[in-house]
Structure 1
């Protein structure tokens, strides 16, 4: 990870125009949302208990209410309140930064990366599809794309040492986790909740979702491999060539040096890492853990591993502090992004937007209904970047609407998966995604330039699968 001062958050155009700083961009989006509270009629759905006791909506209960447009004071407080609402993911971001700095101080990351890089030295390109497949499989099982934050600090030195760049490492982490989350073969937070709301057997439709996963993982792997080959042949074509200057000095020639050796204390420390990973997977899948619980575990992980490796308590504390500093910008971005939803909710227009978009889908020709659902879910994802949160708000509307317009409920859920999932690593309102970019030292504007062609491809792939599901009357 690189210090935040080295993170580029603007991009210069040839005509002299600069892409606004990400703080400014998110602030402007929040401001536009505040203006919309004076234009869009206020409305609300009745909240009821949904699956697993989580709050959902009654789709037949929408009513217009007295407008409550945001005052200047309300708008002024939106960002601080966003920080408060997003406190779990903000804290998680800090802890990830601190924990990995402790691990770097022990040198076990560098040693592990050195050994892995030497193993793949002759066929380094193969590490891309292998890692994307592994990370996507994890994400499609436990539904935590936020693990990209864990992968990136390890992948950057690995990719740079193999002749690639930070964008390659970031793409492996973000694309793989987003693909697994999107396919949702056994994702409890999206497919699981949606099927419970729709009255379908949990994880039914398994076969087609596996085909979706294989297809999009193959496409993503080929896309990243194509970019990586180009960068290895001509490093100056890298999107992050300037940002990677110090990383190249640190890691690029590592394979020309003698292999790093691990002492007994480092061997003991690294042997504990699989134990902690198993605990994380068990906690998420069996105990319902999320970021708060994982943050607590990672504090212990950094401390215990650091002590076993021979670091003093003082050095561990200093490493945590340095890691906190490096991800500070990412933490702030998360809170600012959350302010957009705060504004829409306070202005009582979030439900109005959802209701209006759902009504538009109902007016579409039957042949376009499933595609319309995907587009609507894509738009809503900008305002509700949480997959489970979006499911709880939109599926109570989309499931019965599917019956009316002649689309199976299973197809409606697939449309939700595509509209929600791929945009998780595109929209700047997605907190964990923006934090991951800052951890990687990759600006949002450069990521968009890299990812947009692949995003368009995935929208077309989603369209093909939805047409198949609608034509065949797919029920799972």
Structure 2
């Protein structure tokens, strides 16, 4: 009898598309009246105006089209994924060119020599930096290149790819969960709720600090265990193939840290620094960032005196390595496309509106939190979820005698925790695919931490009601 093997990420996502399509045959279609919010520059739903509309059940054709539509269609609350997918391919090409020069291998060897015996210190420092990116500007898709960079570093330090993936994913994710001035979550949600984004700031800082500590302890505890016993790794069966993939045939060779390689690493680091500046200060998105890394690839090619034919072949090979990640992003976004086309998003929100009406203050905020958790699975975009739910939930808070800032915090913490695990997130599925960590294994590993963070969220929200 053959042993059951859990399906891979592609199959999981396609099954979810089928399930959501099936729901469009069961859940009645409906819409809220929409009005333009000048502060957001977007149309938002009006509480109490939901009405049924003609059904739009999604059939086999819609299911098959969903991954394609997910790549290039902009649905109501979520943008198309083609820009993110192209960014991933260009990042793959950029990293392929840099890897070809040996600069990263030489740099890793130098870092490991400097950190010998202190490698664990990288984890809290890096997670703090990623958390800062999450809380300040909602670091998400921009984190994808760091997976490719950190996995070989962590493996050279005798950790495993999950340590690298968790450092990025949980670091940036806990920052988003505890957003303070994140314009794509906190500011949009507060504007949609009609309050200043500074209201409730202390509560979010509390979530950020305690949540970061929990995540750091969880990752470091696992990292120590893997370092002492590689068999304890959740990807122990992939150890040799991962070493070959991430560290290459030269993994045992110490490369000279030449002046050329140093200069290439300067360009490498500068590209990421400019990316962070562009996103946080200049409002760049995937198009501008992709152009940046394309330019950086060309500069590295010139510095290393790479021939045109070698440069082109290396860039294409690097992009090919991340092609699977680009496809996963499109499939994940296809789930939202099916739900949106089936006109069931507003119906689910209407049911949530009815559920919280008339509840006591503590019960109201906790039920609101869990409703936002459910809706976050369906709308993985934090800004899209804010525009969708805040105009409905914030006025209900007034009747429940709960501050609107608490509703914003409930939305934010719910969205943040779901986006650490949801298969509908391009960041989760894409990042794990880059690190070659099976989604189901990651889910099993992170589940106890998610439970602890959930309890933390509910306790802090309940405390907010009492204060």
Q: TM-score range by the shorter chain?
A: over 0.9
- Aligned: 1:30 with 2:17: yes
State the secondary structure of the residue aligned to 1:243.
Answer: helix
- Aligned: 1:16 with 2:7: no
C-alpha distance 465-74 of structure 1, shift in aligned 2 (>3 A)? same
C-alpha distance 89-370 of structure 1, shift in aligned 2 (>3 A)? same
State the secondary structure of the residue aligned to 1:388.
Answer: helix
Alpha-carbon offset, residue 175 of structure 1:
0.6
What is aligned with 2:77? none
What is aligned with 2:96? 101
Deviation per residue, 1:38-59 (Å, 9 max, x gap): 2111111233333341343233
Q: Which of 424, 427, 430 pairs up with 1:432?
A: 427
What is aligned with 2:55? 67
1:265 and 1:310 in contact (8 A); partners too? no
C-alpha distance 302-359 of structure 1, shift in aligned 2 (>3 A)? farther
1:164 and 1:228 in contact (8 A); partners too? yes
Q: Which of 230, 238, 242 pairs up with 1:243?
A: 238
What is aligned with 1:81? 69
Q: What is the TM-score normalised by the length of structure 2?
A: 0.92
- Aligned: 1:56 with 2:61: no
Partner Cα separation in structure 2 for residue 413 and residue 460 of structure 1: 18
1:118 and 1:255 in contact (8 A); partners too? no
Identify the range of structure 1 (391-400 vs 290-299) with the bigger mean alpha-carbon deviation.
290-299
Partner Cα separation in structure 1 for residue 210 and residue 71 of structure 2: 38
Gaps of 5+ in 2: 74-80
Deviation per residue, 1:163-211 (Å, 9 max, x gap): 1101111111111010111111121100010111122223343333222
Partner Cα separation in structure 1 for residue 249 and residue 65 of structure 2: 49
Alpha-carbon offset, residue 15 of structure 1:
8.3
What is aligned with 1:187? 182
Partner Cα separation in structure 2 for residue 449 and residue 438 of structure 1: 16
Q: Which of 104, 124, 133 pairs up with 2:119?
A: 124
State the secondary structure of the residue aligned to 2:44.
Answer: strand
- Aligned: 1:391 with 2:386: yes
Alpha-carbon offset, residue 232 of structure 1:
0.8
Partner Cα separation in structure 2 for residue 80 and residue 102 of structure 1: 29
Identify the range of structure 1 (245-254 vs 455-464) with the bigger mean alpha-carbon deviation.
245-254
State the secondary structure of the residue aligned to 1:48.
Answer: strand
2:98 and 2:264 in contact (8 A); partners too? no
Alpha-carbon offset, residue 32 of structure 1:
1.7
Partner Cα separation in structure 2 for residue 252 and residue 160 of structure 1: 12
C-alpha distance 154-345 of structure 1, shift in aligned 2 (>3 A)? same
What is aligned with 1:6? none
Partner Cα separation in structure 2 for residue 47 and residue 263 of structure 1: 61
State the secondary structure of the residue aligned to 2:100.
Answer: helix
Q: Which of 196, 200, 205 pairs up with 1:201?
A: 196
Alpha-carbon offset, residue 285 of structure 1:
2.1
What is aligned with 2:160? 165
Alpha-carbon offset, residue 60 of structure 1:
3.7
1:268 and 1:309 in contact (8 A); partners too? no
Partner Cα separation in structure 2 for residue 372 and residue 225 of structure 1: 33
2:203 and 2:464 in contact (8 A); partners too? no
What is aligned with 2:128? 133
Deviation per residue, 1:214-252 (Å, 9 max, x gap): 111111010001001111111011111122313446759
Gaps of 5+ in 1: 1-13
Partner Cα separation in structure 1 for residue 232 and residue 248 of structure 2: 16
What is aligned with 1:353? 348
Deviation per residue, 1:9-67 (Å, 9 max, x gap): xxxxx982221232222222111211211211111123333334134323343211122
State the secondary structure of the residue aligned to 2:237.
Answer: coil
C-alpha distance 349-256 of structure 1, shift in aligned 2 (>3 A)? closer
Equivalent residue runs for 1:278-427 within 5 Å: 278-427=273-422
Equivalent residue runs for 1:267-278 within 5 Å: 267-278=262-273
Deviation per residue, 1:101-120 (Å, 9 max, x gap): 12211222222222222222
C-alpha distance 254-36 of structure 1, shift in aligned 2 (>3 A)? same
Identify the range of structure 1 (241-250 vs 288-297) with the bigger mean alpha-carbon deviation.
241-250
Superposed CA RMSD in Å reads 2.2
Partner Cα separation in structure 1 for residue 64 and residue 107 of structure 2: 47
